[in-house]
Structure 1
Amino acid sequence: MRVLSITKHLREQNWVAVFLDFLIVVVGVYMGLQMQEWSSKRAQNAEAAAYHERLAYEYAALSDTLKKHSEHYETYLRNGINLTALLLTVQEIDQGRANQLMNTSLFSIPPLKDPAVLDEMISAGKMGFIADPAQRTQLLNARYSLQFLGTYYEFLNDGLDQILPIVQRCTVIDEVQPLAENANIPEDLVTFHYDFTCMQSEPLMPALMSEWLQRLHGTRNLYIEANLEFERIAKKLQDLANKSR
C-alpha cells in the first residue's frame, strides 16, 4: 500500500509527499528491526536465566551431597582411627566395640557424576550465556574437581583391596539357617563374626590400616574443599539468574 502511494507521488512529482512516504517506510523498517532485536534479546535473556537457575539448583544439590559425603568420610576416619588403636592394643579387645567400628569404617563412596546442565550447555554451544569468562572457568574447574574426586575413589579402593583379604581370612562364619519352601528370606543371610585376635597376628595389618587412614584423611579434606567451592558457585549462579530475569 505504501509502495503504491510512493509511486503515485512520484508520478505527480510531489517530492514532499515522496520524502514523507520514504521516511515512514524507513522508520517502520527500523522500528520493526528494533522490535525483532528486542524480542530476540528478551528470549536470550530468558534462556540464560533458565540455564543459570538450573545450574544454581544443580550445584547447590551437588554441594549438599559433597557435604554429606565429607561427613561420612569423617565418620569412617574417626572409626578407622579407633579400630586401628584397638588392633594395636595389648589388652583384650572389646568385641562388640570392635565389630561396630569394623562395620562403619572400611567403606568408599562412589564419586558424583559431572554436572548434567553444564554438559548440556557445552554440547549445545550455550556456554556464551555465562558472560563472565572467570565464571566459565570456575564452572569448568569445578567439573574437573569432580573428576579428580573420582580418581580418589579408585585410590581408596586400592587401599581397601589390600585390607579386605586379611579381614576375609579373619572372618568366621557362625551359621547359615536353612529356609523352608516359601519362607521369608531373613535380613541376615549369614551370621558371622570377626576374629580380631587373628587380625592382630597379621604383621601387615597395622601398616595397611595406617595407609588407609591417610587416604581417608586426604579424601575427606578434598570433599570439604569441593563442597565450599560448589557452595560459592551455586550462590553466584543464583545471583546471575536473578539479574538475567
Structure 2
Amino acid sequence: MKHVRDQNWTAVGLDFVIVVVGVFVGIQVSNWNDQHFTAREAIDSRVRLISDLQNDRDVLAVRRKFYQEVKDAAKRIEHILEADFPETTEAQWQLIRDTENAGLIWAFKPSAQVYDELLNSGKLRLVSDTEILRQMRDYYQDAALEAAMSFQVDTPYRNKSRRLISGPLIEYQHHACNIVVGADPSNVKVEEQLYFPPCPAPALETEILETAQRIHAEEELLGDLRLVLRHTEGVLSFIEYLDDEAETLITKLEAD
C-alpha cells in the first residue's frame, strides 16, 4: 500500500513539474514573441521615419532652388529701381516678371504623419534613445511652427506689387510662363530646373510700358523689396538648418 502511495505522489510531483515547466516555457515563448514583435516594430518605425525625413530633404532641395530664384529676382528689381527707367520692352517685361516673382511664397512643413502616429500611440519610445527623441521633437514640432511662419508671410511688398501689375499681364504670366510651383519633388531635376523660366513678352507693349512705369515710380516699393530680400535670405538659412537636422536624424536612426 505504501508503495502505491509513493507512486501516486511521484506521479503528482511529475505532473506538477510538467505544469510548472510548461507555464514557464509558455511565458518565455510569449515574452520572446513580444520582444521579437517589438524589435520588428521598432525597425519598421525607423525605416518609415527615415523615408519621411528623406522626402523632406528632397522637398527642401526644391525649396532651396526656388527661393534662390526669388532672391535673384528681387536683386534684379533692386538694381533697376535704383537706376534709370529701362528703355526696351524686353527689359520692362523682365522688370514686371521679377516684380511678380519676387513676392511668391512656396510653403513647407516637415512631413510628420509617421511621427504623429507613433507619438499618439505611445510607441515613439521604441524608436530610439532620449537624445534622438528630443531632436525629433525639435524637428517635427518646433521647426514645424517656425516653418509655418517663415514660409507663409504675406508681406506689404507682395500686396503692393500685385496691385501695380495689370490684370492682362498677370493672366498672361500665369498661363504662358510655366512657373513651376507645387510640382512633385520626385519629378523635378533640381540642378536643371528653373522655376521662373524665360518667357517671351506678350504683344501688349502699351500695357507693359504703363505697368513698368507704375512699378518704377512707386516710392515705397524699394523699401518693401529690401524687407523681402532679408526675409528670403532668412528662409534660405532656415532651409539649410532644417536640411541639416533631417540629415542628422537619418544618420542616427540608420545607426540604431
TM-score by length of 1: 0.77
Aligned runs of 1:62-141 on 2, under 5 Å?
62-90=56-84, 92=86, 94-112=91-109, 114-141=111-138
State whether residues 172 and 193 of structure 1, in contact with CA within 8 Å, keep that contact through their aligned partners in structure 2: no
Deviation digits for residues 14-63 of structure 1, max 9, x if unmatched? Answer: 35555444333322221111111101111111111111111110111012
**Please, which moves more after superposition, 90-99 or 117-126?**
90-99
Instruction: State yes or no: 1:25 paired with 2:19.
Output: yes
Instruction: State yes or no: 1:229 paired with 2:222.
Output: no
Instruction: State yes or no: 1:193 paired with 2:208.
Output: yes
Deviation digits for residues 48-103 of structure 1, max 9, x if unmatched? Answer: 11111111101110121112112211111122111211121125352243244334
- Partner of residue 227, structure 2: 211
Query: In the alignment, residue 26 of structure 1 is paired with which amino acid?
Result: V
Query: In the alignment, residue 222 of structure 2 is paired with which amino acid?
Result: P
Query: In the alignment, residue 65 of structure 2 is paired with which amino acid?
Result: E
Q: 1:205 to 1:103 in 2, by over 3 A?
A: closer
State whether residues 114 and 146 of structure 1, in contact with CA within 8 Å, keep that contact through their aligned partners in structure 2: no
Provide structure 2 residue ranges, at least 5 long, that are not aligned to the other structure: 177-201
Aligned runs of 1:142-157 on 2, under 5 Å?
142-143=139-140, 144-155=142-153, 157=154
Query: In the alignment, residue 61 of structure 1 is paired with which amino acid?
Result: N
SS of the aligned residue for 2:6 comes to coil
| Distance in 1 separating the partners of 2:3 and 2:37 | 42
SS of the aligned residue for 1:111 comes to coil
| Distance in 2 separating the partners of 1:142 and 1:41 | 29
State whether residues 10 and 18 of structure 1, in contact with CA within 8 Å, keep that contact through their aligned partners in structure 2: no
State whether residues 63 and 227 of structure 1, in contact with CA within 8 Å, keep that contact through their aligned partners in structure 2: yes
**Please, which moves more after superposition, 218-227 or 103-112?**
103-112
Q: 1:173 to 1:47 in 2, by over 3 A?
A: closer
| Distance in 2 separating the partners of 1:113 and 1:235 | 17
Query: In the alignment, residue 82 of structure 1 is paired with which amino acid?
Result: R
Q: 1:34 aligns with which of 16, 24, 28?
A: 28
- Partner of residue 6, structure 1: none
Q: 1:12 aligns with which of 5, 15, 28?
A: 5
- Partner of residue 164, structure 1: 159
State whether residues 88 and 200 of structure 1, in contact with CA within 8 Å, keep that contact through their aligned partners in structure 2: no
SS of the aligned residue for 2:138 comes to helix
State whether residues 80 and 101 of structure 1, in contact with CA within 8 Å, keep that contact through their aligned partners in structure 2: yes
TM-score by length of 2: 0.74
Query: What is the Cα-based RMSD across aligned positions, in Å?
Result: 2.8
Q: 1:199 to 1:60 in 2, by over 3 A?
A: same
| Distance in 2 separating the partners of 1:100 and 1:200 | 13
Aligned residues: 218
| Distance in 2 separating the partners of 1:168 and 1:154 | 19
